[in-house]
Chains A and B, each alone.
Chain A
Amino acid sequence: GAVVSQHPSRVICKSGTSVKIECRSLDFQATTMFWYRQFPKQSLMLMATSNEGSKATYEQGVEKDKFLINHASLTLSTLTVTSAHPEDSSFYICSSRSSGANVLTFGAGSRLTVL
C-alpha cells in the first residue's frame, strides 16, 4: 500500500533556530500534501494544504512566514518551522493522497521540542 516516510521522528532544538521536517511518498505520486499539528490529548488540526508546484494554502491563524511549506516534487514536501519558540513544540504530521485517490496516508509524525 501507499507509504509516506516522515523524518525526523523527534527533534529537539534551541529557541530561535529553524527546523525542517520532510515527508516523502515512497510508492506513489503525492499530488496533494496536508500538514497537521497535534497538541497533547487533542485532535489533529490542519495547518496547510500544498499541491505540487504551487504555493501552499494556509488555514486561518497559521503564519505562512513561520511555517514554510515547499512541495517541489511529486514525492517530497517539507515543512520548515522558522525561528522556533517553545510554544511551537508539538507533534507535526503530514498526510498525502495521490490524484484521484480517496484514502489519506499519514507519515509517522515528528515530535518537535523547542527549549
Chain B
Amino acid sequence: KQEVTQIPAALSVPEGENLVLNCSFTDSAIYNLQWFRQDPGKGLTSLLLIQSSQREQTSGRLNASLDKSSGRSTLYIAASQPGDSATYLCAVRWAGNQFYFGTGTSLTVIP
C-alpha cells in the first residue's frame, strides 16, 4: 500500500531558526515528489518538485532533498520568518496520475 507520512504534525519555532520538515513514503519506486504550502482556508502553493532522478532542489531559503532508498524527503527552511507559518504538505507520485498526500506539518514561527 502506498502511503505518505509527515512528522512532526506540528512544529513551533522562534523566528530566525533553521528547521527541517520530514516526509516518508512506502515504496521507493516514485516518479516524483512535490512539497506544498497551504495557508488556513486556502488552496495549495507548490514550493518544490523533485524528480526521482534528483537528490535535491533549492528555491530561496528552501531546500528539499530526496533519498529514495530510505523512502524519505526533507524540506529545510533557513532563517525562518513569521510569514513561513503555514501547513506544509508533501505529495508523492508513483506510476500513474495520482499524487498521494501526507498529513502535513503545521508550522508556527514565533516573532
Chain B residues within CB distance 8 Å of chain A: 31-32, 34, 36, 41-46, 49, 51, 89, 91, 93, 97-104
Cβ contact within 8 Å between A46 and B98: yes
The contact of A43 among B31, B43, B49, B104, by CB within 8 Å, is: B104
Q: Which 5 A-B pairs have the closest CB atoms?
A: A108-B43, A106-B44, A109-B43, A43-B103, A44-B101
For B100, list chain A residues within 8 Å (CB): 46
The answer on a CB contact under 8 Å between A109 and B97 is no
Tell me whether chain A's interface is mostly helix, strand or loop, or mixed. strand
Chain A interface residues toward B at CB < 8 A: 6, 32, 34, 36, 42-46, 49, 91, 93, 95, 102-109, 111
Residues on the A chain within 8 Å of B45, using CB = 106
Q: Given that A44-B89, A102-B32, A103-B46 are known contacts, is A109 also in contact with B101, CB under 8 Å in the complex?
A: no
